Structure 1
Amino acid sequence: MSSEAPAPTDPAAPPPRASSEVATDADLAELDRLAASYRTLTEQVGRVIVGQSEAVEQVCVALLAGGHALLVGVPGLAKTLLVRTLAEALDLDFNRVQFTPDLMPADVSGGEVPASAGADGPAFRFEPGPIFTNVLLADEINRTPPKTQAALLEAMQERQVTAAGRRHPLPDPFFVLATQNPIESEGTYPLPEAQLDRFLLQIAIDYPTEEDEVEVVRRTTSGPPSPLEPVIGRDQLLAARAAVRKIAVGEQTLRYATRLARASRPGADVSGVNPGALEFVSEYVRWGAGPRAAQALILCAKARAALRGEVHAGGDDVAAVAPAALRHRILPNFHADAAGLTADDLVAKLIAAVPRQPDAGPRWLREILP
């Protein structure tokens, strides 16, 4: 995040206006309930997962925003365990698919299988695959060929599976939480940009601190952890997801998110951004973020605000979720590779280059609730 002070408000600019409002007292109460449940959820998850608080928050942000997440980290950092633990604490149906080179599309989505023959000849019925669940763990998604990876595209975007010309809706809610190992290339199939863009967030899982690693060793070499207690069920999650959409976002914050996405595109004319600050984009970026990026920034900013008990999302929320929302949507070129610059480095430069207005509006539920 940039250390620069937010740009002063332009007196000639139109007054900020909210993009959405919390419509009813029930929505406010639901957001208050969500903030309390999230605190309990992190306590439950912390009984199994040591540290990784930022990753836990970002996965919850993706779930509240109704999107999918890609968890990237080296082996042994509890990516799979984190997803399984969250699904258990959320009291949702959970399936895991281990992606391998011989996995076929029907192994994921399901397909038509023979049924009992009738008077008109052989009959077929649709046999649902493991994708028909609330939380699907796509483990090591880059180890399966593109034809199987593509089986997820329709499900992730349309929340349905088409087989033999018939559409089969997926359960609601439906989330894909995929994992990927960034250090191996042999026997892997990198996800194409079009499929990466379907993931709302790409969450980086880093090594734990020394104290956390000591605690991991202590826990995993003693007795098994006690069972988790479900915290948030399906109905509450759906209600919270609807309430998150009504969190207020000012016009300046909407423009800030849009300008962040536009500023990532080489040669783009970005209104309100110093053209000199975009030279690094033209030099180091092969392909920038599309319109889905700005949508992801706003939705995730709302979800992040909701987890903190706030009813107004501002530029600070957008900047906080920007690395996870943009790192997989910005493609560095060979000049960036030669200079040792990663997508995360370029996102940090964007946040520093694009000015944002001070946040305005009520932020905490206690300022509104009686």
Structure 2
Amino acid sequence: MPANAPPVAAAPVAAPSPAEGPATEADLAELDRLAASYRSLTEQIGRAIVGQTEAVEQTCVALLAGGHALLVGVPGLAKTLLVRTLAEALDLDFNRVQFTPDLMPADVSGGEVPNHSGGDGPSFRFEPGPIFTNVLLADEINRTPPKTQAALLEAMQERQVTAAGRRHPLPDPFFVLATQNPIESEGTYPLPEAQLDRFLLQIAIDYPSEEDEVEVVRRTTAGAPPRIEPVIGRDQLLAARAAVRKIAVSDSTLRYATRLARASRPGADVSGVNPGALEFVSEHVRWGAGPRAAQALILCAKARAALRGEVHAGGDDVAAVAPAALRHRILPNFHADAAGLTADDLVARLIAAVPRQPDAGPRWLREILP
């Protein structure tokens, strides 16, 4: 916490939610399989990707939570390679679309084309676009105009494409993993806030450490690219995604996630939060996070706990996923820009200001564990 911030009083332990039901043995067994599969998955990804452990984990968290992810980083940090490698290791259908200024919506979603199979009169049939896949890599998504960016909105939210008044469901699972270069502005079209909110996480890809960079150079300048073996199939992924939602959280964790989201809004009335932090938000934030933010925090906290083989998600899990879940949902104002403050700085201040309540764990967990 910053030195000039007033201390935050410790919050009392909240009781677990009475609505939480006991996890069955099948649920626990599925979570054990998920943790083992994740270790195999990271091993396969590690054949092609050096380091970037946090980015790999956050991408897997988004997939297990059933959401989309936006990977942001400068060129050459293996954003595209990470998505492609992940799709290969998951044994899922994969399509890549290079977003350019002249890309049209139908180039992504597909559209009606003339049917030349004969008949009494002219007819049309729907020709699916590359979006009809399990994993869609939207490469450099900010290089295409808003009209084409909007073609993804319905697909990301409703998992369907509407053409000529007819709805065409997308495959299940369906994930959009988009990449964006943060340092270029010429020839780019910033994503509107409504579309950013559709991304469960915005994952920051940073430069590797010196040792990792040496290893990257060594691997890429000698020998053929490694072969990636599929370790998780479609059915296993869907079962794991269902198991993640059964991970229990206490009321204190739910309230902590909700307060993080609410405290990001200027002028919000949030009990139990450092008043100085709320003044900081009112001074430096134009728009705060909406209700989707708290949902994202809890879902991603559950997925993070599952990857570690845990059956309970707590406040530490929420705090760990908060930067990726909130940085694209908080819009700094011109005061923040003048002070050199980024959305990440504001999220860090929120995490420091909102008290993380001690978590006794859900009732059913205390009953089955010694």
Q: Are the structure 2 counterparts of residues 6 and 65 from structure 1 closer, same or farther at C-alpha, using a change threshold of 3 Å?
A: farther
The farther-off stretch of 221-230 and 299-308 is 221-230
Residues 139, 178 of structure 1: 8 Å contact kept: yes
Q: Aligned residues: percent identity?
A: 91
Tell whether the 8 Å contact from 1:87 to 1:93 is kept in structure 2 after alignment.
yes
1:320 offset after TM fit, Å? 0.2
Query: CA–CA distance in 2 between the matches of 1:33 and 1:366?
Result: 22
Pair 43,362 (structure 1): closer, same or farther in 2 beyond 3 Å: farther
The structural deviation recorded for 1:13 is: 9.1
1:310/1:365 contact within 8 Å kept: no
Change (3 A) 1:21 1:87: farther
Given that 1:8 and 1:358 are in contact with CA atoms closer than 8 Å, whether structure 2 keeps it comes out as no
Superposed CA deviations along residues 289-309 of structure 1, whole A, max 9, x for unmatched, are: 000000000000000000000
User: Size of the alignment, in residue pairs?
Assistant: 365
Give the conservation status (yes or no) of the 8 Å contact 1:23–1:246: yes
Q: How many Å apart are 1:107 and its aligned residue?
A: 0.2
Tell me by how many angstroms 1:8 deviates. Answer: 17
Alignment pair present for 1:12 and 2:10: yes
Contact 2:8 2:274 in 1 (8 A): no
Q: How far 1:11 moved relative to its partner?
A: 14
Partner of 2:150: 150
Normalization by structure 1: what TM-score?
0.93
Distance 1:301 1:6, change over 3 A: farther
Name which of structure 1's ranges 222-231 and 177-186 shifts more when overlaid on structure 2: 222-231
Between 266-275 and 329-338, report the one with greater CA deviation. 266-275
Q: Distance in 2 between matches of 1:233 and 1:9?
A: 49
1:120/1:293 CA distance change after superposition, 3 Å: same
Alpha-carbon distance in structure 2 between the residues aligned to 1:49 and 1:219 = 10
Aligned Cα RMSD in Å? 2.9
Give the superposition deviation at 1:275.
2.0
- How far apart are 1:116 and its partner, in Å? 2.3
Distance apart, 1:226 and its partner CA: 2.5
1:2-44, CA deviations, whole angstroms, 9 ceiling, x for partnerless residues? xxx9999999999x22664454211111100000010111111
1:179-198 correspondence to structure 2 within 5 Å: 179-198=179-198
Question: What are structure 2's unaligned runs of at least 5 residues?
Answer: none
Alpha-carbon distance change, 51 to 11 in structure 1, aligned in 2, over 3 angstroms: closer
Q: Distance in 2 between matches of 1:29 and 1:104?
A: 46
SS class of match (1:121): coil
> In 2 relative to 1, CA 366–271 (structure 1 residues): closer, same or farther, beyond 3 Å?
closer
Q: CA deviation at 1:365?
A: 9.6
Please say if residues 92 and 135 of structure 1, whose CA atoms lie closer than 8 Å, have aligned partners that are also in contact. Answer: yes
Measured in 2, the distance between the counterparts of 1:279 and 1:25 equals 48
* Alpha carbons 1:90, 1:230 under 8 Å: kept: yes
In structure 1, C-alpha distance between the alignment counterparts of 2:8 and 2:276, rounded to whole Å = 20
Asked whether the 8 Å contact 1:6–1:357 carries over to 2, the reply is no
> Distance in 2 between the 1:335 and 1:303 partners?
36
Evaluate the alpha carbon distance shift between residue 19 and residue 130 of structure 1 in structure 2; reply closer, same or farther with a 3 A threshold. farther
Residues 22 and 28, structure 1, Cα contact 8 Å, conserved in 2: no
The whole-number CA distance in structure 1 between the counterparts of 2:361 and 2:103 is 51
| SS at structure 1 position matched to 2:123 | strand
Contact 1:107–1:129 (Cα < 8 Å) also in 2: yes
Q: 1:10 to 1:194 in 2, by over 3 A?
A: closer
* 1:120, distance to aligned residue in structure 2 (A): 4.2
Aligned mates of 2:364, 2:304 — CA distance in 1:
13
1:244 Cα offset (Å): 0.4
Aligned partners of 1:19 and 1:251 also within 8 Å: no
* Residues 150-159 or 264-273, more deviating: 264-273
Shift of 1:360: 2.0
How big is each residue's C-alpha offset from its partner over 1:300-336, in whole Å with a ceiling of 9 and x where there is no partner? Answer: 0000000000010000000000000000000000110
Query: 1:277: how far off?
Result: 2.3
Give, in whole Å, the separation in 2 of the partners of 1:354 and 1:19: 25
Q: CA offsets, 1:34-87, max 9 Å, x none?
A: 000101111110010000000000000000000000000000000000000000
CA contact (8 A) 2:11 2:272 kept: no
Using the TM superposition, name which of 108-117 and 91-100 deviates more: 108-117
SS in 1 for 2:125: strand
> Bigger CA drift: 114-123 or 124-133?
114-123
Q: 1:99, CA displacement in angstroms?
A: 0.1
Going from structure 1 to structure 2, the CA distance change for 1:104 and 1:32 (only over 3 Å counts) comes to same
Counterparts of 1:38 and 1:363 in 2: how far apart (Å)? Answer: 27
